[in-house]
Structure 1
Amino acid sequence: MATTQDSDFRDGMPFLGSRLWIDFANSAPVALGDFLATPEGWAKWLAAAGLKAGAGRKGVAAANLADVHALRAALQRLFDALQTGSRPAASDLDLVNRYLVAGAAPPQLSWRDGKLLVEQQEAGDMDPLAAIAADFADFATLYETARLRHCANPECSLIFYDTARNGTRRWCSMSACGNRHKVRSHRMRAAKLECS
């Protein structure tokens, strides 16, 4: 499943986690507020994530926001469990499993160019919450969970998957938190030199 996300800001929302499920978990950063507080915010986030807002059964209905928030909270707790190596809560796994089952589509046969082909459903065609749950399941079983990180900026609440070759990424974004740290360090060194 090709759900790895580019690292950037889209429509003012952080997409810095390197994975769809992490970007979803980051959709309520402490400093910026909850991007998924309204159906309009959910629709905007889905568009920025490249998911179809009307896909699946639920789309962006207001009643769906409780489901959106519940899955996000479960993924945040699962992030913590994976990062610390602790046992995840059964209720969080059950919730993700419900979306995996709901989003599971059997392969479809189609006829193209004189041949029968088996086609799998693309993540963008799934119910958005099912696509996010599927990305988490893919990640949890295939990726190095030791590379899950919290941003090193104590004022930042974002999380990410460290894709640096040497595994030393510290910041959610070098252009945001990393740059702030460099500026702060430079000012402290300059102030120290002036005092000397």
Structure 2
Amino acid sequence: MILRTFKGRAFRFDPGALCLELLLTSDPGGLPWSLETLREPADLVRWAGESRLPDGPRLSVDATDLDRAHELRGALWRMTIARARGEELAPHDTDVVNAAAAEAPLVPAMTSGGERTWAAAGATGTAMLSVVARDAVDLFTGPYAHRIRVCEAHNCALHFVDTSRPGRRRWCAMGRCGNRNKVRAHRARLTGPGDAGE
């Protein structure tokens, strides 16, 4: 997904899972800013179009779906933070995910051109959230469950799943936090410990 910094600079960020893309619509709370992009049902439709979900018929989303999205997103935030810290998941949060996953999901379909889409019948916000929740079940119970990370930059709160072969990804995006850290480390090496007072 394409994200923007507070200064408006665009950068590409791939959290590695659909369920983690939902986190990009808010912050985890307790931060000095408030990021909320799901304010009305149309915002959830827009997010679905920008996410890694395949293109498909327009979703039918109502206020109840928006409330469910907020509840699912809150549970996913808490689960992601807990997993990144190596902590157990809270039963209430897994109950929220399981309830959403139990709903009928979007029905996969194929176009005559061989492209993946979903069937128009049942293309609701509830069905889309079921797909997101099922992705969360796969992530949090799968082989990468122990690789859910938070970016190591001191001023970044982005979470991702590390799918790299060595499992040592540290940054949300190399073009953003990774490069800034490299520049900082390079400058520190150039100035050296004895140059600080000069």
Q: Same fold (TM over 0.5)?
A: yes
Matched residue type, 2:40:
T
Separation (CA, whole Å) in 1 of partners of 2:11 and 2:69: 16
Once residues 79 and 61 of structure 2 are traced to their aligned partners in structure 1, the CA distance between those partners, rounded to angstroms, is 24
**In 2, Cα distance between equivalents of 1:103 and 1:47:** 20
**Correspondence 1:135 to 2:140:** no
Partner of 2:21: 23
Aligned-pair identity in percent equals 31
Q: Is the 8 A contact 1:9 1:15 kept in 2?
A: yes
| Structure-2 change in CA distance of 1:27 and 1:123 (3 Å) | farther
Contact 1:53 1:128 in 2 (8 A): no
Q: Deviations over 1:45-104 (max 9, x none)?
A: 11011435744xxx3324432211110010111223333443322221221111111125
Q: Which residue number corresponds to residue 60 of structure 1?
A: 61
Instruction: Find the aligned partners of 2:162 and 2:154 in 1 and give their Cα distance.
Output: 18
Q: What is the CA RMSD across the aligned residues, in angstroms?
A: 3.2
Determine the C-alpha separation between the residues in 1 that align with 2:42 and 2:102: 27
**Partner of 2:2 in structure 1?**
9
Please give the alpha-carbon distance, in whole angstroms, between the structure 2 residues aligned to 1:63 and 1:36: 13
Give runs of aligned pairs for residues 154-169 of structure 1, distance below 5 A: 154-169=154-169
Q: TM-score, normalised by structure 2?
A: 0.71
Paired residues, what number?
A: 173
Q: For the residues of structure 1 that align with 2:57 and 2:12, how far apart are their CA atoms? A: 18
Distance 1:46 1:153 in 2: 28
The whole-number CA distance in structure 2 between the counterparts of 1:189 and 1:85 is 33
Q: 1:62 to 1:191 in 2, by over 3 A?
A: farther
Query: Matched residue of 1:98: which SS?
Result: helix
Q: What letter is aligned with 2:71?
A: A
Residues 33-182 of structure 1 mapped to structure 2, 5 A cutoff: 33-51=35-53, 52=56, 54-55=58-59, 59-103=60-104, 124=118, 127-182=127-182
Residue 26 (structure 1) shift = 3.0
With normalisation by structure 1, the TM-score equals 0.71
| Residues 160 and 172, structure 2, Cα contact 8 Å, conserved in 1 | yes
In structure 2, C-alpha distance between the alignment counterparts of 1:128 and 1:14, rounded to whole Å: 24
- C-alpha contact 1:17 1:159 (8 A) present in aligned 2: yes
Structure 2 gaps of 5+ residues are 5-9, 109-115
Contact 2:148 2:160 in 1 (8 A): yes
* Structure 1 pair 179–123 and aligned structure 2 pair: CA distance change class (3 A): same
Work out the CA distance in 1 between the residues paired with 2:136 and 2:38.
Answer: 19
CA–CA separation in structure 1 for the residues paired with 2:12 and 2:94:
25
Return the alpha-carbon distance in structure 2 between the equivalents of residues 123 and 75 of structure 1: 25
Counterpart contact for 1:39–1:61, Cα < 8 Å: yes
